[in-house]
A and B are shown apart, each in its own frame.
Chain A
Amino acid sequence: MPDRNLQANTRRPAPRAQTRPRSRIVSALDDALRPHEPVSRRTYLSGVILSTAVIAFVWILLSYGGIVPPLFLPSPSDVVRAAVALFREGSLLIHARASLSVIVTGWALAVVAAVPLGILMGTLKFVEALVEPVVDFVRYLPVSAMIPLLILYIGIGTAEKVAVIFIGTFFQLVLLVADVSANVSKDLLDSAYTLGAKRGTVFSRVLVPATLPGVMDNLRITMGWAWTYLIVAELVASDRGLGYLILDSMRGLYTDRIFVGLFVIGLLGLGFDIIFKQLHRILLPWSPKI
């Protein structure tokens, strides 16, 4: 097929100038599936709509179609009704607020401790020697395995859940930030030295700003992970929070409420993700990542 070769050379196909006309769908797919090539906004959006529509369609089909009983899969209207009811009772807000406060507190404490330590660890070999063995060991311990110990030490309550989030986030974040700071170009630091900067200045005015985009990315990523620890924490010995809502609904077989809990967690997670991306854009306009 001579026209195939022509395409390979010019990368972009000359759209309608082919000897054998191909269907529009085939050529659109061909355009959309080039490795590492950008696609038009329209193509991108149609992908987003397609996947959402397929999931919605399957859900609607299975639930309203009576293929899966409501006990296992509530219909969209059941879920909306349950959400409205929970919201009216005021419990949805209470649970969401409880989860949010635990997650934000635990995560923020971890950030405050892990970011400076990670930057030092990635920069100073000696700090790496001090920190790495401990962190590498602890981060392989599942957070859920530490919950009994935490309950023993701190008791049941908010502090224990905050501690779960902290432990889950802290050790991962230290290593992620260390990696970011270790990857700061040495030439950047050397340039600062040749401009007359002393060690402290190089740290504060070069190394720290240079790590910001990477740190920002990792804050976003660990916030996502923190949600998974939160649910683990709330499934054990808890009386409020979205995880508790889900567990409690299961006991009463309120599957629709379980779905409400899941949706709220998903939406909050998505919200945080968007906030972090916007913050990155606003606070670090110079970042090569945006």
Chain B
Amino acid sequence: MTDDALMNDTAKLILRDLTVAFQRRRGGSVVAVDSLDLTVHDEEFVCIVGPSGCGKSTMLRVVAGLTRPSSGEVVLDGIQVSGPGADRGMVFQSYTLFPWLTVEGNVEFGPRLSGHPPELCTRIAKRYIDLVGLSGFEHSYPKELSGGMMQRAAIARALANDPEILLMDEPFGALDAQTRTLMQELLLSVWEQTHKTVLFVTHDIEEAVLLADRVYVMTARPGRIKREIKVSLPRPRTVGVLDSEEFLHFRREVHQSIREESLKVLAAREDGG
């Protein structure tokens, strides 16, 4: 068996030749994502890093079914994605808890939609609320929570649907540095317990290397895959790994790669005036 065939064997999510162009108001179009290919394997944690504006969010929204690609396809478990669905949970950078529902109500939202009996929904919600360390806050409204707690609840809400893949778009981007580190640890521990397939978008190199089995580096806009880096740090990981020699090695590698792209963005800005 060739390496490629082996890869396809366990492929959970495949993006094939994906291109997304947005029409400009005044005519013309912006190519946000350009013939992008990418594979995520079952139970794998994949991070996408790239300079700001390179099309990461757009790519993720296509996977979620929220944006239609101009060409190419997204295949999940062998079936082509054609719209949003409960099999792809998503956590956004902005705070998206429903303010009129308590933490429990938010986490139950998905299970209730799928028609489970109320007691089961509550049980599911409790399980994931515990998992993200929010027990005791079941009946709090989002306005009573801190940013980090809201994102934890958002993760629990996405997981409560037991999706095939969890999509995360810079979910810790709005948090302060200390909280972000705590959240990364929490996510690592959640992943150890669930082994959920994750596609995680970030511009934070350290975050990507800490979390991922594989890191894809995207080019500046139009976004395509520039490099793929396997992060063979042992699991289970903790933030302790941040100081290790291997970690620094991977970080340097990603950093090199992304630095060239950031410079391109900068140069393009200066050219454009």
Contacts and interface: CB of A to CB of B under 8 A. Distances in A.
A186 to B, nearest CB: 9
A210 B99 contact: yes
Most buried by A among B85, B89, B98: B98
23 contacts: A187-B92, A187-B94, A187-B96, A188-B96, A188-B98, A190-B61, A190-B66, A190-B96, A191-B92, A191-B154, A192-B98, A193-B66, A194-B66, A195-B89, A195-B109, A195-B113, A195-B158, A195-B161, A210-B98, A210-B99, A285-B141, A286-B99, A288-B143
Interface of B: 61, 64-66, 84-86, 88-90, 92, 94, 96, 98-101, 109-110, 113-114, 141-143, 154, 157-158, 161, 167
Nearest to A206: B98
Interface string A247-277: 0000000000000000000000000000000
Contact of A210 (B65, B89, B94, B100): B100
A194 B85 CA distance: 5
A154 B114 CA distance: 52
A201 B113 contact: yes
A125 to B, nearest CB: 14
Contacts of A187: 92, 94, 96
Counting contact residues on chain A (CB < 8 A from B), the size range is 20 to 34
Contacts of B154: 191
A190 B92 contact: yes
Interface of A: 185, 187-188, 190-197, 201, 206, 209-210, 212, 284-288
Contacts of B100: 209-210, 212, 284, 286
Given A185-B94, A188-B98, A194 B64 contact: yes
Given A190-B92, A192-B98, A195-B158, 5 more contacts: A188-B98, A194-B65, A194-B66, A194-B89, A195-B110
B103 to A, nearest CB: 11
A195 B100 CA distance: 16
Given A187-B94, A190-B90, A195-B89, A288 B99 contact: yes
Nearest to A195: B110
B138 to A, nearest CB: 14
A120 to B, nearest CB: 20
Contacts of B142: 286
A192 B64 CA distance: 12
B26 to A, nearest CB: 18
B143 A286 contact: yes
Contacts of A206: 98
Contacts of A193: 64-66, 84
Contacts of A288: 99, 143
A285 B101 CA distance: 10
A209 B142 CA distance: 14
